[in-house]
Every structure is written in structure tokens, then in C-alpha cells.
Amino acid sequence: MQIEVVNPVAEVRPEAVAPARRLDSLSGKRIALWWNSKLRGDVALSTVAEAIEKRFSNVTFVHFSQQYDHGRHFPQIYDEARKSCDAVVATTGD
């Protein structure tokens, strides 16, 4: 008998991405809260939103969510968040 051991992890091909411009303040900003519907990610986002509200004034939150689908992307929702908000906070709930 012969057993072959293989690595089930795909080869990672990193892609360089320029970081977003840092905001001077979150006061008066619209912030997207992005949840991919994984367990308790919404709880984490609520906690972050509360902390932001305590520290910054006149902040508006816009909620985005998607049904979790491993590896699937949602460019139309990404575009909507990018165009309508100044910053995004995202959770995965793992």
C-alpha cells in the first residue's frame, strides 16, 4: 500500500493593491458597515459602530450585507459602497 499526501491549499498569487487614502477624521462621514452574513459578524460591526459614535460626531452608517458564498465577489455592491460612503468597515464573523 502506498499513501500519497498532498497539500489541499491553492498556490497564493499575491496582487499588489494600493491602500486607500487615510481619512483625517471620521466626523461627518458616511461609513459602510459590510457583513458577509457569517455568524456574529453583525455583532462585531455593531460594536465597532458604537465605538466610532462615541469618538466621532455626526457619523452616518450604511449597512451592506451579502449571503456568504466562499470566493464569490459582488462588484455591483462594492461599487455602491465605494460611491456612497467615505470608509468601509467589514467583518467576516469567523
Does residue 90 contact residue 34 with C-beta atoms inside 8 Å? yes
Q: pLDDT of 33-81, one tens digit each? A: 988 888 888 899 999 999 999 999 999 999 988 776 666 667 787 888 8
pTM of the predicted model, to two decimals? 0.72
Residue 86 or residue 36, greater confidence? 86
Task: Identify the band that residue 25 occupies on the pLDDT scale cut at 50, 70 and 90.
Answer: very high
Does residue 45 contact residue 35 with C-beta atoms inside 8 Å? yes
Query: Is the confidence at residue 16, as pLDDT, over 70?
Result: yes
Look at residues 32, 34, 50 and name the one whose alpha carbon lies nearest to residue 42: 34
